Each structure stands twice: as structure tokens, then as C-alpha cells.
Amino acid sequence: MGRSGGGGGGGPAILLVAAVLVAGVAVSNAQLKVGFYSKSCPTAESTVASAVRQFADADSTILPALVRLQFHDCFVKGCDGSVLIKGGGNNAEVNNNKHQGLRGLDVVDSIKQQLESECPGVVSCADIVVLASRDAIAFTGGPSFDVPTGRRDGRTSSLRDADVLPDVKDSINVLRSKFAANGLDDKDLVLLSSAHTVGTTACFFLQDRLYNFPLAGGGRGADPTIPEGFLSELQSRCAPGDFNTRLPLDRGSEGEFDTSILRNIRNGFAVIASDAALYNATATVGVVDTYSSMLSTFFGPYFRQDFADAMVKMGSIGVLTGGAGEVRKVCSKFN
């Protein structure tokens, strides 16, 4: 995940919902619970799901964008909706270059406006981000699972806070360190990166890997680990200086939620450097191999469950509950 610019590919919205999975991870904060709004705002989750479906019908690329939005919110000081704040000059977190290409804020704003008319001052923006991401995963054909709610919105949003986000140029050791700092292990790193199975990236994030990669003998050029044929394919799609063209992160299986992204990583067909890095360390190689093996047909259900568990785990990072924080009236500004 991270700076992939995962906005999704074209084509009709995919609205296949799998059997419901109950995520089997322990939530770190006991004040988060499944069905938190069952009495205070019974329509909250159905309202979010309906809105996500409507936006996806108009533009299916919003689905992976909403998943990316949760990642970017949760990785910066926890899942507190801080990435949604606008204004304050250029000092708001969302203005950090690490958030380049981030989408879905308008979806959250729209859902919040609707929920305020149904249940004023009840449903937090932080929870809307997590619920919308969960529904987006299901609507791409991924697992449908319960997520605990009860998050409160943060009262700070700082440009420099987002410097901690993973970068496409991070080494595997740096990636592991950044995930570990948020209580996520190597398995979580691989599973959450698997969300790239339905995303796209801008050529901006490939320029260094294709044309400005530091070479062992000095000088710069293309990343020598990219297979020759695949390199030609990528360079034909992303010319030098082309920052805007988009291409799928999961070659040959874009738009389908499956383990193809991990097989591509294993076989040298990772599009972005941070995905390729997952096959550069023993700890993560083992995880990639587990889910991309010839027995993946049998492991498939476990992958879906494990992915759901990783999403719930990420959604519990640094949450504010109880009397902490606030419930914003408008997601883009503090009360």
C-alpha cells in the first residue's frame, strides 16, 4: 500500500459480495465493538454501504481509492480522520506529498452529510473511513467482514505527521520497521499490500525504478531486477517524464480481488518497487509463498480471512474512544 496512488482501474463496478467473514483478531481497545451504532444510529452501516455502492456505480475506481484512504489515515497517528482535514494553509496532513493522488474524501464528506441528517453528532468521520473501506473491499469481490466501530475523530492534523507513511522506494527493512511501529507484523505487511490486487498506480511512482535507479557500478538506469520483457512493457506504458498515466498494480488480473498480485510479486512482475521488495527478505518471502503457491486454491479462503483480520488490526491503530477527541459535524474541519 502506501504511495502507490491506488485509484483503481476502469470498467464497470464489481459488486460481488462474498460470504460474511467474522474477523478473528482481538481489538486492542475494548471500547471499539462491532455494532457500536446499533442503538444510537441503527442505519449507520447500511447508509455507508449504500453510498459506497452508488459512488462505485458511477466510477468503480473509487473502490480501491477508499481502501487506500483508510491506510493513509490509520498509518498517521492512528485511525482518527486526521487525513480528512482541509484548510489551515498548507499545514494540514492531507497536503503532504506522501498523500499524492489520495481520493475518496468527497465520498466520506457525502456520507457524513447524510448521516448528520439521520443521526446528528453520532457517527464519527474516522468510523466512516473504516466502514467505507470495508464495503469497498466487498464490492470488488473481496471478503465481507465485520469491523468494530466507536472511534472518535482527532483534533490535530499536521503536514509533517504524514512523513512516516511507507514510500514506494523504501527498502524491505524500512517497510518492516514502519509497519512494526504500528503494531503490524510481516504477515500484515504482505496481506495489506495484497490490496494492490484491485488498484492502479500513476507513472509518477515508477519513474525512478524505470529510469533513475542507482546501479551497482555507478550511474543510474532501470532496476536490474525487473525481467527484460516486463521492463519493456512498463517503459512503453510510462515514458520518461510521464507522471500521470495509470496502469494496474496487478498485471493480468486487475479489477479482481485475488492472490494474483502475490504470484506476480513472486515471479518478478511487481509494478512498484515496494511490492517487489516483499520478495527481498526471508520473513516476507515465506508469507508471499504461502498465499501464492500451487495450492492457493485450497489456501484461498484462509487468505480472505487473514486479509480481513489484517484490515481489522490496521483499523485499531491509535484509535480515540470514549471521551477522547470529538465527533466532527463536518469531516473536513474540526468542530
Q: Which residues constitute the domain of residue 231?
A: 172-309
CATH number for 303 = 1.10.420.10
Domain boundary among 113, 143, 166: 166
Task: Name the phi and psi angles at 241, rounded to 5.
Answer: 85, -5
Question: Is 185 marked within a binding site?
Answer: no
Q: Are residues 94 and 216 in the same domain?
A: no
- Half-sphere exposure at residue 139, Cβ-oriented, CA atoms within 13 angstroms: 28
How many domains in the chain?
Answer: 2
Domain boundary among 166, 187, 218: 166
The predicted model scores a pTM of: 0.90
Q: Are residues 67 and 187 in the same domain?
A: no
Q: Is residue 250 part of a domain?
A: yes
Task: Name the phi and psi angles at 201, rounded to 5.
Answer: -135, 155
Q: Are residues 232 and 150 in the same domain?
A: no
Query: Using an 8 Å Cβ cutoff, are 287 and 193 in contact?
Result: no
Q: Is residue 68 part of a domain?
A: yes
Q: Are residues 148 and 192 in the same domain?
A: no
Q: Are residues 158 and 25 in the same domain?
A: yes
Query: Using an 8 Å Cβ cutoff, are 78 and 317 in contact?
Result: yes
Q: Is residue 294 part of a domain?
A: yes
Known catalytic residue: 72? yes
Which cell numbers in the block locate residue 90?
498548507
Select which of 41, 61, 62, 72 is catalytic.
72
Q: Is residue 326 part of a domain?
A: no
Q: Are residues 215 and 120 in the same domain?
A: no
CA angle 202, 18, 199 (to 5 degrees): 5
Question: Is 80 marked within a binding site?
Answer: yes
Question: Is 166 marked within a binding site?
Answer: yes
Question: Is 197 marked within a binding site?
Answer: yes
Give residue 23's pLDDT: 43
Question: Is 76 marked within a binding site?
Answer: yes
Give residue 298's pLDDT: 58
Domain boundary among 106, 137, 166: 166
Q: Is residue 289 part of a domain?
A: yes
Give residue 19's pLDDT: 32
pLDDT in tens, the chain (335 residues): 554 444 443 333 332 333 334 444 444 454 899 999 999 999 999 999 999 999 999 999 999 999 999 999 999 999 999 999 998 778 999 999 999 889 999 999 999 999 999 999 999 999 999 999 999 999 999 999 999 999 999 999 999 999 999 999 999 999 999 999 999 999 999 999 999 999 899 999 999 999 999 999 899 999 999 999 999 999 999 999 999 999 999 998 887 899 999 999 999 999 999 999 999 889 999 999 999 885 655 555 589 999 999 999 999 999 999 999 999 999 999 99
Q: Which of 328, 315, 4 is nearest to 188 (CA)?
A: 315
Q: Are residues 187 and 279 in the same domain?
A: yes
Give residue 227's pLDDT: 97
CATH number for 85 = 1.10.520.10
Q: Are residues 160 and 57 in the same domain?
A: yes
Q: Are residues 28 and 132 in the same domain?
A: yes
